[in-house]
Amino acid sequence: MKTTKIVQKILSNYEGETPGVKAKLAGILMNGKLGGTGKMIILPVDQGFEHGPARSFAPNAPGYDPHYHYQLAIDAGLSAYAAPLGMIEAGADTFAGQIPTILKVNSANSLIPGDAPKTQAITASVDDALRLGCSAIGFTIYPGSSAALDMFGDIGEMRKEAAAKGIATVIWSYPRGEALDKDGETAIDIAAYAAQIAALLGAHIIKIKLSTDHLSLPEAKKVYEAQDIDIATQAARVRHCVQSAFDGRRLMVFSGGAAKGTDAVYDDARAIRDGGGNGSIIGRNSFQRDRSDALAMLGKLMDIYRGKD
């Protein structure tokens, strides 16, 4: 596979990693319309598990069909497509080799009682990823949950197995649980902490949410204020989170979150670009739109990441 100097530089940050994992990362970084730029847009479709089918797909009914999402990601020229086992299996043969895939190996759902510890069940394996030709596994952790240590242990073992079999690891690091209130889930000190935890667990690609300027932890707030850490703008907060993941030595993409207007999606992308992030992992804001609107929006996002907008 031919790679650019930008991609080679990124891969050089993964010292001690297996050639197989680096090849899988290169495949994602060189795929699609952003190939070779060091930027990525990934389509994640795990919302049917997390939120239920109607909440996820009724706004754009073709999305009930797993093939729709594969084809959307391919036609848009995205870097990769991520989904749970059933969704990947439903199109793995038809779309084999057409786009890198990420197998989401753990999931939760909206039927779990609200007072239960925030956690996810392991629903697929590294061998499933290998069998289906996936480039990576994806795993969610919930820093802030009483179940977080178990999740850290689970992904530690799965990441080790995946690397040995030449498969990369993407960690969704979403602060959530008994230790945090709603503001704390998106606070900048917590977001940066979540990025650091994912990097320390060995993530090759880190997925976090965009943060607010709220500071949640009193001891952290003292340091932010004493050191005058810039968190005033979204781009500054992205930059701080990137710095917190080994000073930019790990790929970091940011969640698109709930459906929103296109202007807000574009503003988020500009902040990610200007803050040194590697791109977006954008689900509901793409597949809940009419296909033509989604393709137009994704095309403009790529222009933003190329610095053309």
Active-site positions? 174, 207
Distance CA 136, CA 101 (A): 7
CA 7, 101, 305, 141 dihedral sign is: negative
Please, are residues 140 and 115 in contact by the beta-carbon 8 Å criterion? no
Please, are residues 269 and 230 in contact by the beta-carbon 8 Å criterion? no
Please, are residues 281 and 273 in contact by the beta-carbon 8 Å criterion? no
Distance CA 250, CA 74 (A): 25
Distance CA 15, CA 22 (A): 10
Please give the single-letter amino acid code of residue 130: L
Residue 71 to residues 41, 46, 144, 205, 234, Cα–Cα distance (Å):
15, 16, 36, 23, 32
Please, are residues 216 and 179 in contact by the beta-carbon 8 Å criterion? no
Distance CA 58, CA 36 (A): 35
